[in-house]
Amino acid sequence: MKFNLDKMPIKISPCPIAEAVAELRFETSAPVEVLLTKLYEHFKATFPKLEKLPVLDIPSVIRDNDPNLRYAAYYRLSNNKYQMQLGPRSFSVVDPKEYTGWTSYSNLIKEAFQFLQETKLITKPVRIGLRYISFFENLAVLPNLKFELNLSGNSLIGASNVIRSEFELNSFKCIVQIANNALLNGKTSGSTIDLDIIRENDAAILTNLTKNIELAHDTEKQIFFSLLKEDYLKKFNPEYL
């Protein structure tokens, strides 16, 4: 699959990104509390808030046997900009509010993932993923995308479409989910474009960390800007090099 773009914006405003998540899934023989202690000791000056997450209220026998909770986070470290979330098989760096920009966010991702690697407690990296959820307030976004859904010549694009697609691009598995009727924080109505860029079953995930993270980000941008119709993109005041 190819996406042909003459050029991509380096910045758009207003930025629709509601949340960004960089996640590493892994295997380890170390208890999650050992990982947590090392992580908190290293980052407590910049991530002073440590909290348990609600999944810990679920009995351990259920947590350990429910496949939906296999990669759930148990603990969260946070400051006024970012979050780090840790579970027994996953670690993520989250930008949960107004997007701070790739330079700042990627530097934190690389620092945190590199530190996790240096603990030597990760026996096997399983998957790395970069996910962006963009929200469009009070708007059905599908008519503004380069997307058609027809049956016998009749458009099926309506108020409540949910579209999901998986494909390969740049050696990543790419999952695109578009919801034409969604809520932000359970309150504000609108639409979402959810892009998850994944590389898995690669022993060199952490060895090639910087390359993987940068290429995942480039792939996400390539898909996102390929989706938007030109007239709709102009409403976001795109800036180019």
Both structure tokens of 141? 């976004």
**CA gap 182, 189 in Å, rounded:** 6
- Could you tell me the CA-to-CA distances from 216 to 10, 28, 241 in Å, in that order? 16, 24, 20
8 Å CB contact between 142 and 181: no
pLDDT of residue 82: 98
Preceding amide of 54 cis, omega within 30: no
8 Å CB contact between 120 and 34: no
Q: Is the pTM of this model over 0.95?
A: no
Q: How confident is the prediction along the chain (241 residues), in pLDDT tens digits per residue?
A: 666 667 889 999 999 999 999 999 999 999 999 999 999 999 999 999 999 999 999 998 999 889 999 999 999 999 999 999 999 999 999 999 889 899 999 999 999 999 999 999 999 999 999 999 999 998 888 889 998 877 777 777 776 788 999 999 999 999 999 998 887 777 678 899 999 999 998 877 888 888 999 999 999 999 999 999 999 999 999 999 8
- Which residues is 177 bridged to in the sheet? 164, 194
Query: Tokens 């006024």 sit at which residue?
Result: 80
- Where do the DSSP E strands lie in 71-187? 75-78, 83-86, 90-95, 124-137, 150-151, 154-155, 162-169, 172-184
CA 215 to centroid of chain Cα atoms: 14
pLDDT of residue 178: 94
**CA gap 197, 40 in Å, rounded:** 28
Length of the chain in terms of residues written: 241
Beta sheet of 17-27, edge-to-edge order: 49-52, 75-78, 83-86, 90-95, 17-27, 124-137, 188-200, 172-184, 162-169
